Structure 1
Amino acid sequence: MSEQRHPDIEVYIKNRSLETVLEWLGTRCDTVRTLNSVGGTHALEVSLNNCSIPVMIHEKAVGKAWISIWFRSDKTPWARDIDCAHEVADALDTQVRCIAESWSESSDADEEEEWWRVENGNAEKIRWPNS
């Protein structure tokens, strides 16, 4: 597993509402400001450790069960997606998934990718979205 800091952080949260995710953000971030909401897509700006970070939330990102949260910066408190996934899974008592390695321009979008499934303090590599 690469220890290199990811350029952004994205996690997929299972069976939690937008309201629940926003409540967690409110407790985790210094400030949370909604910039735009259209349908199930929400653009936010949060302040974490005196850094302004753009955030996108997509409801029903993968089927009806998953909501994604994408921190569009490398200035988050998490070095890698899995670090954030562990925190969210613990805080919201749910399963969280994230890409196993940082996304790159050379990634083949048609290839099934390895993901982390994080739940109850455990992380397991899986193939997703097919599992």
Structure 2
Amino acid sequence: MRQPDIEIYLKDADYQAVSAWLEAALGPCTPWQRKGQTYKCQAGDVPVTWLPNAVGKWHSLYLESATTPWEDDLACARAAHAALGVQIRCAPGSWDESQSEEDADRWIRIDTDGESEIIWRTG
């Protein structure tokens, strides 16, 4: 089932490289606009938010649309890792408040060693 939005976390990636990848995948990017700690742009028809150091050295990339080429966070994370060569983390699926806190700490890590499920306490 297609997710209504996408969020992945990237380690040691800069937004210029991310911009180039988004432009190739989604279409032309508008210039990044800084709003407080976040940066926003539009890639094709997709509103994008970049939050540097959202969790330590991890940067959050949030795509606010169901009309991306990726069905879910994991598909996007795989594509980002392939394009950028950095470690990516994403939720294994949608999570909502009715699920346990422990489920919120389950993440998929994608790096040069492949994919693995990890416990990542972000809160």
Task: Work out the CA distance in 2 between the residues paired with 1:28 and 1:76.
Answer: 9
After TM superposition, the structure 1 = structure 2 runs for residues 87-106 of structure 1, keeping only pairs within 5 Å, are 87-106=79-98
The TM-score, its normalising length taken from structure 2, stands at: 0.86
**Paired residue for 2:54, among 61, 71, 74?**
61
What letter corresponds to residue 54 of structure 1 in structure 2?
P
Partner residue, 2:9: 12
The answer on 1:129 being equivalent to 2:121 is yes
Percent identity between matched residues is: 33
Q: Which of the two has greater helix per residue?
A: 2
Partner residue, 1:21: 18
Instruction: Quickly say closer, same or farther: Cα 1:107–1:35, change in 2 above 3 A.
Output: farther
What letter corresponds to residue 86 of structure 1 in structure 2?
R
The TM-score, its normalising length taken from structure 1, stands at: 0.81
What's the CA shift for 1:127?
0.7
Q: What secondary structure sits across from 1:23 in the alignment?
A: helix
CA contact (8 A) 2:8 2:76 kept: yes
What's the CA shift for 1:44?
1.3
Q: What secondary structure sits across from 2:83 in the alignment?
A: helix
CA contact (8 A) 2:41 2:48 kept: yes
CA-based RMSD: 1.9
Q: What secondary structure sits across from 2:23 in the alignment?
A: helix
Task: Work out the CA distance in 2 between the residues paired with 1:118 and 1:27.
Answer: 21
What letter corresponds to residue 20 of structure 1 in structure 2?
A
**Paired residue for 1:116, among 94, 102, 108?**
108
Task: Work out the CA distance in 1 between the residues paired with 2:32 and 2:15.
Answer: 15
Instruction: Quickly say closer, same or farther: Cα 1:120–1:68, change in 2 above 3 A.
Output: same
